[in-house]
């Protein structure tokens, strides 16, 4: 125990924090990737958009790796049931992320429009698929899936594609698009900045409508007082972000969508606790923070490791964002002739 709190609860909270970090940071990466064909009018503007996330996208992606590793070590039963039952959706997410990462690395290796166009398609698709499927996956986890007495998933892919889960996918998709548009408006200058800010308001309004419906549905199905407070604050933050974007306050607008996603994810975990994967077959078969956890010794060692290395990782990532904090515009992109000369 730590300060009277069970280690299983501590690690449930830490895993929630890791997913919050992943969705708030990688969320705008996904949004930027999906918005490349919408906001960019030419190759120079496409390069501007890609450069806004170029220095940070790989660091943002580390959060999901740590979240997966922490789940495996702290709650092995949860990890086993989740990754076996959600195998195909998670595989699709993995393939999409690989293609997206390759797009960042290889797009500039060729100098033809066809070459760049193919990698742009990989970037767009590789951002769209995870943005949608992560929402579908988390909605299913919170609502519950068929799990038998042996803690094994007994459903199919179509079990996961239910109306509630699909609405969850659309919610994360729209929130990430809004988050990405806010980030582009914050990080760029010139015409693309104004287009991104205007689009962020429209996307934010659409996201607000869908998110409210999804969060109310979640609260009605499995919510708690804590999740209700988190959802209410998330909705307030999103409305504040939209208002800030309309007023031209990009920094506050991006902060608003950041807080919105963080509170929404926190609310989902609050609605889930003390379960980690509810069973829709029989509540007695549900995986909880108790029956899915590793041994106390394992959790104790993990806690000391986390206490030692987490501040270092957070400090490094904060330093990265500080170094690359300035806006960029088309004037910072060298012409084709200059790029070839170099």
Cβ pair 204, 238 in contact under 8 A = yes
Backbone angles phi, psi at 153, to 5 degrees: -70, 130
| Helix, strand or coil, per DSSP, at residue 86 | coil
Closest CA relative to residue 245, chosen from 258, 254, 232: 254
Q: How confident is the model at residue 4 (pLDDT cuts 50, 70, 90)?
A: low
User: Per-residue pLDDT averaged across 53-74, rounded?
Assistant: 91
Quote the tokens at residue 168: 């969850």
Cβ pair 38, 183 in contact under 8 A = no
- Whether residue 59 is predicted with pLDDT greater than 90 in this model: the reply is no
User: Per-residue pLDDT averaged across 158-175, rounded?
Assistant: 95
Q: Cα(299)–Cα(290) distance, rounded to whole angstroms?
A: 12
User: Per-residue pLDDT averaged across 326-342, rounded?
Assistant: 64
Residue 156: what pLDDT? 86
Quote the tokens at residue 313: 């990782």
Q: How confident is the model at residue 155 (pLDDT cuts 50, 70, 90)?
A: confident
Q: Is the peptide bond before 154 cis (omega within 30 degrees of 0)?
A: no
Q: Cα(114)–Cα(265) distance, rounded to whole angstroms?
A: 39
Percent of the chain with pLDDT over 70: 96
Q: Cα(206)–Cα(288) distance, rounded to whole angstroms?
A: 35
- Whether residue 30 is predicted with pLDDT greater than 80 in this model: the reply is yes
User: Per-residue pLDDT averaged across 80-94, rounded?
Assistant: 93
The strand pairing partners of 145, in sequence order, are 279
User: Per-residue pLDDT averaged across 235-258, rounded?
Assistant: 96
Q: Cα(16)–Cα(80) distance, rounded to whole angstroms?
A: 18
pTM given for the model:
0.93
Residue 342: what pLDDT? 42
Q: Tell me how crowded residue 102 is: count the other CB atoms within 10 A of its CB.
A: 14
Cβ pair 31, 181 in contact under 8 A = yes
Q: How confident is the model at residue 162 (pLDDT cuts 50, 70, 90)?
A: very high
- Looking at per-residue pLDDT, the higher value among 55 and 259 belongs to 259
Q: Which of 8-12, 106-110, 194-198 has the lowest mean pLDDT?
A: 106-110
User: Per-residue pLDDT averaged across 124-133, rounded?
Assistant: 96
DSSP 332: G
Residues in the chain: 342
Cβ pair 163, 192 in contact under 8 A = no
User: Per-residue pLDDT averaged across 323-340, rounded?
Assistant: 71
Residue 112: what pLDDT? 86
């Amino acid at each position: 125990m730590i300060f009277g709190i069970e280690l299983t609860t501590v690690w449930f909270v830490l895993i929630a924090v890791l997913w919050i970090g992943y969705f708030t940071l990688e969320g705008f990466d996904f949004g930027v990737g999906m918005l490349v064909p919408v906001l960019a009018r030419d190759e120079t503007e496409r390069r501007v958009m890609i450069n806004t996330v170029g220095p940070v996208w790989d660091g943002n992606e580390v959060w999901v790796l740590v979240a997966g590793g922490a789940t495996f070590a702290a709650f092995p039963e949860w990890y086993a049931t989740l990754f076996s039952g959600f195998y195909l959706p998670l595989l699709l997410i993995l393939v999409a992320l690989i293609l997206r990462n390759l797009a960042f690395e290889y797009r500039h290796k060729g100098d033809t429009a066809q070459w760049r166009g193919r990698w742009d398609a990989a970037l767009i698709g590789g951002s769209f698929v995870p943005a949608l499927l992560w929402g579908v996956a988390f909605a299913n986890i919170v609502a519950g899936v068929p799990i038998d007495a042996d803690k094994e998933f007994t459903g199919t892919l179509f079990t996961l594609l239910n109306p509630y889960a699909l609405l969850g996918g659309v919610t994360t998709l729209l929130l990430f698009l809004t988050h990405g548009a806010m980030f582009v408006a914050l990080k760029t200058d010139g015409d693309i900045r104004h287009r991104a800010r205007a689009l962020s308001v429209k996307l934010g309004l659409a996201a607000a409508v869908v998110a409210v419906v999804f969060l109310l549905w979640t609260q009605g199905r499995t919510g708690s007082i804590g999740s209700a407070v988190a959802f209410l604050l998330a909705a307030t933050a999103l409305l504040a972000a939209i208002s800030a974007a309309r007023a031209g306050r990009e920094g506050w607008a991006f902060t608003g969508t950041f807080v919105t996603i963080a509170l929404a994810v926190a609310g989902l975990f609050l609605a889930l606790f003390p379960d980690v994967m509810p069973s829709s077959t029989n509540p007695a078969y549900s995986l909880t923070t108790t029956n899915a956890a590793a041994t106390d010794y394992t959790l104790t060692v993990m806690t000391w490791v986390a206490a030692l290395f987490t501040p270092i990782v957070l400090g490094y990532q904060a330093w990265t964002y500080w170094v690359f904090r300035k806006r960029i515009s088309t004037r910072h992109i060298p012409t084709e002739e200059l790029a070839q000369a170099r």
